[in-house]
């Protein structure tokens, strides 16, 4: 009867503690301290310790001790599995460690004499394992300096306290897992910013809570990140993304509420400007200035920029999908207008965006289904009499827009990230045409294929070219690859290795549109280019324009000094031809000789 009354008393005290408002509001450590103190006072023992099992399961460390400083050391004692193997095995088996004589019990006698001396000759112990979910994570241990027979009520009390602690552990782990899941679900793991899901949720909350108050959604896209990745390496590209994220996060911008990373190279920002759009201009200028400042990565200085689209709630969209779609449309329009700028959404942009999206989808389908064609424009010898090579120019016979030249849809291919795929499609079609000409016994001259910056910076370009040469049994000497000046403005290791490998295949390399970019004599000297093509803008006013004459003469002189051949493109009349011939230009190309023509017409010309 006495044990039953003791049990009821223990149960009541424990229930009042754990369900009290004060206990519920405590952090985990304070809760464990309160439970240890209650256990010690109810059972009148000399000490109560809470021990934590290491993640490796090889030792226990006393984390809490009641009363504090009992043996002058408090927490910090450690028990190793290899010294107390039987005790650890009992805990592994979920046993209650109940012993009135620690020196004789097989589970505890390994504690004598070192541990027992340190704790001032403990005679009796009562312990219960603690859990975190289904994992053993420690033990609560009661110690008495007097020999004691533990009652069933004592054992039940310790077991209940141990179960309570285990529930606290499990609940904390559940809360932590929820926090981790919430973080993973709503944050970008690379930058730590909120992600697209979090952005959508936030916008929806703002719409529901403040349906009449305006806010702006800014949509950012890092310009030419793909080219940076290909030309300088993924690590540099990642550093750019990380730096842009840090700059957006750290901007002290009045009205800024949230920054999110919503794609590989895209970010978004929510800003609230009570006075409307008029207050946005200075903020946008500050954002562009912050983002467009060069990044130094090691010894490299990387110039970056971003394009921004801006839409307003509720004027530009009353729901989340519309608001995001319109800010994206404005961003794409900013890119189409030359990048490094911001554009506000309007209905004209909406129409343009819809048309652009449709045309982009059609271009993707045309590339995949072979809906494009390659025209060939002959390149003539210096005297203008013989076809010595040709330039491959892609054409798109659109169902409603008619025949579209490169100038009509290449900008779209760049913006949509399709330009590298388009380059490879043209290269493959040219190789196929060379194979077909060989089968028809027509000696086809070398063909120049244009490559974009995205392609020339691709570290796998040489392998892709080699695979197509082998597939169609084309010699490298039958190809020339043309790149614009800006594509080779960085002397990266990847670029040098790619160009060297292409040259080893027998392919000749030339710089297209020379004079319009940033090439230098030193770069031309160090890279294996054997031909320059003078941009047509310098040819069209020859020989009347003295500036164009001077520029063209300097290019011809420089090329001669470097041992590089020169092609003049855009030759349209006899005066231009005569002047260029007099200056010793190696090759001529333009409408004076031939316009771009389909493959069949080019074959007929070669057979003539």
Residue 109, CA distances (Å) to 13, 83, 226 in order: 33, 11, 68
pLDDT of residue 213: 75
3-state secondary structure 403-472: EECHHHHHHHHHHCCCHHHHHHHHHHHHHHHHHHHHHCCCCCCCEEEEECHHHHCCCCHHHHHHHHHHHH
Whether 354 is covered by a domain: the verdict is no
Of 350 and 140, the structure prediction assigns the larger pLDDT to: 140
pLDDT of residue 71: 46
Q: Which residue has the tokens 């710089």?
A: 511
Residues 125 and 207 in one domain: no
Residues 235 and 166 in one domain: no
Using alpha carbons, select from 483, 492, 575 the residue that is nearest to residue 526: 492
CB atoms within 10 A of CB 275: 9
Residues 173 and 250 in one domain: no
Q: How confident is the model at residue 578 (pLDDT cuts 50, 70, 90)?
A: very high
Residues 384 and 302 in one domain: no
Contacts of 186 (CB under 8 A, 6+ apart): 194, 195, 197, 198, 201
Dihedral sign for Cα atoms in the order 201, 205, 208, 210:
negative
pLDDT of residue 286: 86
CB atoms within 10 A of CB 473: 10
Highest mean pLDDT (candidates 88-97, 176-185, 227-236, 486-495): 88-97
Burial of 290 (0-12, 13-18, 19+ CB in 10 A): middle
In whole angstroms, give the CA distance from residue 79 to residue 98: 18
Highest mean pLDDT (candidates 81-95, 169-183, 422-436): 422-436
Residue 444, CA distances (Å) to 378, 479, 605 in order: 11, 11, 11
pLDDT of residue 352: 60
By mean pLDDT, which of 175-184, 403-412, 438-447, 551-560 is the weakest?
175-184
pLDDT beyond 90 at 74: no
Whether 406 is covered by a domain: the verdict is no
Whether 331 is covered by a domain: the verdict is yes
Residues 164 and 231 in one domain: no
Whether 399 is covered by a domain: the verdict is no
Whether 351 is covered by a domain: the verdict is no
Residues 171 and 214 in one domain: no
Whether 324 is covered by a domain: the verdict is yes
**pLDDT for 507-545, tens place per residue?**
999 988 775 544 445 556 678 888 988 888 889 889 998
Where in the sequence is the domain holding 170, given as residue range(s)? 2-183
Residues 449 and 339 in one domain: no
pLDDT of residue 123: 86
Residues 146 and 200 in one domain: no
Q: What is the mean pLDDT of residues 36-50?
A: 89
CATH at residue 588: 3.20.20.450
Q: What is the mean pLDDT of residues 571-576?
A: 94
Residues 40 and 165 in one domain: yes
Whether 422 is covered by a domain: the verdict is yes
Record the pTM: 0.51
pLDDT beyond 90 at 474: yes
In whole angstroms, give the CA distance from residue 407 to residue 302: 29
Residue 27, CA distances (Å) to 34, 67, 137, 183, 573 in order: 11, 19, 19, 22, 88
Using alpha carbons, select from 158, 163, 89 the residue that is nearest to residue 124: 158
CATH at residue 40: 3.30.450.40
| Domains: count for the chain | 3
Q: What is the pLDDT of the chain when averaged over all its residues? A: 83
Residues 363 and 429 in one domain: yes
pLDDT of residue 69: 46
Q: Which structure tokens are listed for 2?
A: 């006495």
Contacts of 573 (CB under 8 A, 6+ apart): 592
Which residues, listed in sequence order, are joined to residue 125 by a DSSP beta bridge? Answer: 99, 143
CATH at residue 225: 3.30.70.270
Residues 599 and 474 in one domain: yes
Residues 312 and 371 in one domain: no
In whole angstroms, give the CA distance from residue 151 to residue 120: 23
With a pLDDT cut of 90, the percent of the chain lying above it is 25
What is the torsion angle, in degrees rounded to the nearest 10, for the CA atoms of residue 538, residue 499, residue 459 and residue 444? 80
pLDDT of residue 210: 67
Whether 436 is covered by a domain: the verdict is yes
pLDDT of residue 125: 92
pLDDT beyond 80 at 358: no
Cβ proximity of 273 and 280 under 8 Å:
yes
């Amino acid at each position: 009867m006495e044990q039953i009354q003791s049990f009821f008393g223990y149960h009541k005290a424990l229930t009042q503690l754990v369900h009290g408002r004060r206990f519920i509001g405590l952090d985990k450590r304070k809760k464990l301290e309160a439970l240890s103190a209650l256990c010690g006072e109810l059972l009148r023992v000399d000490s109560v310790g809470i021990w934590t099992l290491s993640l490796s399961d090889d030792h226990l460390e006393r984390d809490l001790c009641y009363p504090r400083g009992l043996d002058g050391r408090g927490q910090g004692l450690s028990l190793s599995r290899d010294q107390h193997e039987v005790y650890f095995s009992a805990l592994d088996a979920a046993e209650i460690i109940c012993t009135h004589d620690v020196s004789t019990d097989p589970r505890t006698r390994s504690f004598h004499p070192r541990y027992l001396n340190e704790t001032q000759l403990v005679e009796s112990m009562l312990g219960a394992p603690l859990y975190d979910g289904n994992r053993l994570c420690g033990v609560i241990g009661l110690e008495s300096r007097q020999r004691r027979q533990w009652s069933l009520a004592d054992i039940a009390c310790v077991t209940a306290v141990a179960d309570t602690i285990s529930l606290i552990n499990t609940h904390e782990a559940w809360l932590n897992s929820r926090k981790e899941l919430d973080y993973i679900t709503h944050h970008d793991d690379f930058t730590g910013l909120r992600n697209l899901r979090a952005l959508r949720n936030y916008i929806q909350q703002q719409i529901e809570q403040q349906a009449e108050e305006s806010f702006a959604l800014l949509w950012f896209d890092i310009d030419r990140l793909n080219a940076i990745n290909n030309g300088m390496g993924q690590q540099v590209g990642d550093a750019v993304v990380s730096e842009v994220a840090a700059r957006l996060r750290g901007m002290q911008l009045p009205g800024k509420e949230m920054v999110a990373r919503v794609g590989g190279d895209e970010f978004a920002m929510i800003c609230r400007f009570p006075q409307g759009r008029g207050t946005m201009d200075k903020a946008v200028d500050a954002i562009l200035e912050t983002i467009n400042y060069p990044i130094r990565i090691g010894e490299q200085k990387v110039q970056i920029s971003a394009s921004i689209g801006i839409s307003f709630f509720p004027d530009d969209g009353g729901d989340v999908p519309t608001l995001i779609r319109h800010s994206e449309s404005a961003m794409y329009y900013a890119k189409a207008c030359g990048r490094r700028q911001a554009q506000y959404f309007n209905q004209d942009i909406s129409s343009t965006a819809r048309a652009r999206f449709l045309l982009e989808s059609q271009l993707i389908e045309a590339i995949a289904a072979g809906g494009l064609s390659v025209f060939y424009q002959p390149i003539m010898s210096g005297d203008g009499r013989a076809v010595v090579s040709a330039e491959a120019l892609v054409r798109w016979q659109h169902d409603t827009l008619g025949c579209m030249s490169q100038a009509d849809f290449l900008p779209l291919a760049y913006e949509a990230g399709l330009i590298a795929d388009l380059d490879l499609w043209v290269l493959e079609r040219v190789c196929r045409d060379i194979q077909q000409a060989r089968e028809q016994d027509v000696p086809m001259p070398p063909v120049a294929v244009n490559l974009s910056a995205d392609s020339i910076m691709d570290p796998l370009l040489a392998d892709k070219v080699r695979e197509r040469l082998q597939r169609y049994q084309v010699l490298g000497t039958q190809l020339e690859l043309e790149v614009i000046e800006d594509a080779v403005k960085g002397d990266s290791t990847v670029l040098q290795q790619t160009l060297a490998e292409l040259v080893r295949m027998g392919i000749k390399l030339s710089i297209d549109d020379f004079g319009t970019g940033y090439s230098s004599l030193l770069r031309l000297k160090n890279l294996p280019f054997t031909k320059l093509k003078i941009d047509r803008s310098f040819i069209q006013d020859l020989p009347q324009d003295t500036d164009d004459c001077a520029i063209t003469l300097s290019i011809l002189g420089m090329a001669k000094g470097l041992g590089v051949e020169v092609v003049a493109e855009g030759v349209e009349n006899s005066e231009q031809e005569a002047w260029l011939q007099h200056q010793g230009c190696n090759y001529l190309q333009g409408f004076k000789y031939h316009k771009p023509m389909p493959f069949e017409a080019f074959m007929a010309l070669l057979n003539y």
